[in-house]
Structure 1
Amino acid sequence: MRKFISALLLFFLFPSFAYANESYDRLVPLATKYVGVPYQFGGSSEKGFDCSGFTRHVMSGVGVELARTTAEQYKQGSAIKKEDLRVGDLVFFETYKKGPSHAGIYIGDNRFIHASSSKGITVTSLDDSYYKKRYIGARRVLAYEQALGQFQDVRNDFWASKEIETLGKNEMILGYAKSYFKPDEVMTRAETAGLLATYLKLNMNNRKETFTDVTSDHWAVGAINALVKENIVDKSNKQFQPDEPLTREQLAMWFAEVWKLKRGADVPFADVKETDAAYDAIEKLVAAGIANGYEDGTFRPKETVTRAQFAVFFYRAINAK
C-alpha cells in the first residue's frame, strides 16, 4: 500500500516523471510483430485490425490513448510537415471518401505500417504511387519535447553524449516519453533484442512462444524470435528472461554474431577463462575496438550494462571497420 501511495504522489506531483516511463523504443517491434495479420473491418486485435484499430492498439502499448476512428485521430496531437516526420508520427490518407479515411504509423526510412484492406498489416513506402497522391497530413501524438537526437537528461558534457545524440538523430534509439534517455538505467535483454532486430531490419512477425517467459502478446516477442532465427540468440534455454539486465558477456556474444566480428590477438583478462562460453566473443569485441577491459585487468563479464554504456557499444559496433 505504501508503494502504491508513493507512486500516486509521484504521478500527481511530478506528472512528467510518471509519463516518461513509456519507452518509445518498443514501438517498431510492437507494431511490426503484427505484419501479416488480416484486415478486419472494426477489428482491434491480432485476430484482425482495421486501420484506426491498429494505430490505436499499437499506441496504447507506448502509453498513448487514441480515439477509435481515423477522423477523430486526425484531430489529436499536433500537425507535422511531411519533411519533419519522426518515428511514431501518425500519417493520414484520403482514400474512399473525402477527408481522412486511412491511417498508419511512420516507422522511419520513408515507410509506414498500416492495416491495408487488401494485405492486412503491412509496411509501405510513402512514395508508393497509390498512397503518395492520397497523403493529406501527419499528426504527432508521441511526447517528443526536444529536437531529434536531444534528450532532457543528457547534457552536452555527458561522457556518452556524442554517441547518444548520433543514435538519436538517426532514430536508432528513441528514448522515453518527454524526450528522456535515462542513461543510468540498465538495459534489459528485451530492450536490446528490440533495438538490434530493428537496426538489422529483420522480420519480426513471428509471435510463436519460443521461450516460456515470452508470450505471444509480449511487445518484443517478434524481435526475440527474429534474433533466434539469425542464430544471434540461443534458443536452447527454456527461458529468455526478457526483463533481466543485459550483462557485458551477453552483449559480447550477441554483438559478435550481429556484426560477424573476427578474433584478434589474445587479450588476457583475469576474470575470463578460455573455457567460458563468452571467451571468443569477448576477444572479438576487444579486437574490434567496441569494448575494452578495466585498468585492473578485468573484463567483468557479469556486470550489467547501462543504457549509456549500451549506446556507446552500439555506436562503436555500427562504425567499426
Structure 2
Amino acid sequence: MNKKWLLPIFASFMLFSTTHIDSAEAATKSEVTDTASKYLGIPYKYGGTTTSGFDCSGFTSQVFADLGIKLNRTSGAQYQQGTAVAKSDLQVGDLLFFNTSGSGISHVSIYIGDGKMVHSQTNQGVSYSNVNDPYYWGSRYVGAKRVATFDAEQQAEVKQAAIDFTVYASRAEVASQIAKAINLDTSDKNSGFIDVKPTNEHAGAIAAVAKLGIFEADANGKFNPSSPINRAQIAKVLVIAFGLENDSQEVSFNDVPQDNWANEYISILASNGVTNGDGNGNFGMDELLKIKELKMFIERLQSR
C-alpha cells in the first residue's frame, strides 16, 4: 500500500508534532454507505456515542472510526475539519452540516449520494433523509466538508483527520506485539490477506496471528494493516490470543450494553484484572487503542 505523509492539523485530542503520519486504510464509496447503514434503527441519544444510542456527531464519529478515520467529537468541531465542498460537488462520504438551533452548527450527517444522507436525528434515530427536504433540512443546510475522498480504486486520501500512529496502535502493530508476547513463529510471510505482501515488515506476525484465528479478514479479504483498532476490538483479540476465560463474576461497564457483541470479551478481560476501565464505570469501547494501552494490557497478561 502506498503511504502519503501528510501535514496534519489536529484537534485538541491530537499531538502537534513533526512525526510522520500514515493515511487511514482505504475504503470505497459503497463501504462508506454500507458501514453507515449497518447502524440504521439505532435510537437517538443525547451525548450518545455507542450502539445503545447515538447523537448526530456520535454517529458520524463511529462510522468514520470504523473506516479508520478519527473525527472530532461534536458537530461544531467536525465542521473545523476537512475541506469545504460546494453543494453541487458533493461526493459520498462528505459531512453535511445544518443549523437546527438557530445558533450555528448543531447537526451533522453523512452524504450517501443521489441527494440522500444518513444521520442520527432526534425522533427517528439513525435513518435516511433527503438533503434538500423542503420542509426541514433544505432550509437549514449550512455547508459540507470533505475529510476523506473515497473512490472505486480503494484510495482514501485522509486530509485533516489522519491517525497519529506514534500514539495509536495500528492493526499491524497489534499483530506484531501479540506474536512477540506469545512467542509465535513468524517465519512464514504469506498471510493470505490481499493487502499484506510478504515484503511487509509485519507480514510474518500477521500470518502467525491469522493462523490461530486471532485476526480474520474483512469481507474483501483484507487485513487492513494500517487501520487503527478500538478498545472493544482489542478486548476480543486479547481474549482469543491468551485463551482467557472469566476468572470471577461477570464485570460490567456503563457504556457496554449487555447485548453488545463485545460485552463478553470486555467482561472476561476485566475479570482477569487486565483492565479496570476509566475509573468512572466506563470502558471506552469505541475509543481508539493507544500503543501505551496495548503494552500495558500485554504486560498485565504476562504477569498473571
The TM-score normalised by the length of structure 2 is 0.45
Which structure has the greater CA radius of gyration?
Answer: 1
The TM-score normalised by the length of structure 1 is 0.43
